[in-house]
Chains A and B, each alone.
Chain A
């Protein structure tokens, strides 16, 4: 993983593996914290980005670990923007999934063990946008925060 950029904008790059995602999330959190972003917002960003990045590892690149994920972050006074770029498979129908909440009310054996990812991304962000451009996926997650 490499990192560069000025204090309010930075880019982190990881290979497409679950362990590299863990490392990039730790780096992201430590950068946000150093910029004065609150623990609560850091927690929301880390969780939403975990879902977005693990989706890329599991679905877009489907286990091709030699591929890169590039995360560019910009911190503005009230808004935090995470832009993720990958060269993997596009989202189905080029659309963001609806991300409904799996039903937690059934009997023990019917409880959902997955399908929470897009629900969490939508619940934690103020805005999500997706674009397929030049053979790349561009996913942007925006968060509101109270001052950095």
Chain B
């Protein structure tokens, strides 16, 4: 499970460099997210634009990654592909996370 952190002034954008967050990957994803979010900016955005598939285990791991953040840290999502957006919509988890439609605009804003 390859996660890449890009630090902007006030934002840590974590890009998932793999296509699937599924039952086989969920535990590793959660552990890597703990490592990637323990330091740095309090505003974290998970960039899912490379991810084409999330199942209920992957969804649970993303929720767990948010719950394991300490204190004032927050986790937003960006770049949801159609099948991933469907899982969030059906389970109403799209009401729990702030979801950014445009990861490129977000990066430019964070950098500028």
Chain A contact residues, CB within 8 Å of chain B: 18-19, 21-22, 25, 39-40, 43-44, 46-47, 50-51, 54, 57-58, 101-102, 104-105, 108-109, 111-114, 116-117, 119-120, 123-124
Contact = CB atoms under 8 A, between A and B. Distances in A.
B64 to A, nearest CB: 5
Given A46-B53, A50-B55, A113-B67, 15 more contacts: A18-B23, A21-B22, A39-B82, A47-B83, A50-B23, A57-B23, A104-B91, A104-B93, A113-B63, A114-B57, A116-B56, A116-B59, A116-B91, A117-B56, A120-B56
Nearest to B26: A18
Q: Is the interface of B mostly helix, strand, loop or mixed?
A: helix
Given A47-B86, A57-B23, A111 B55 contact: no
B63 A111 contact: yes
Contact of B60 (A39, A44, A113, A123): A113
A70 to B, nearest CB: 19
Interface of B: 20, 22-24, 53, 55-57, 59-61, 63-64, 66-67, 82-83, 86-87, 90-93, 95-96
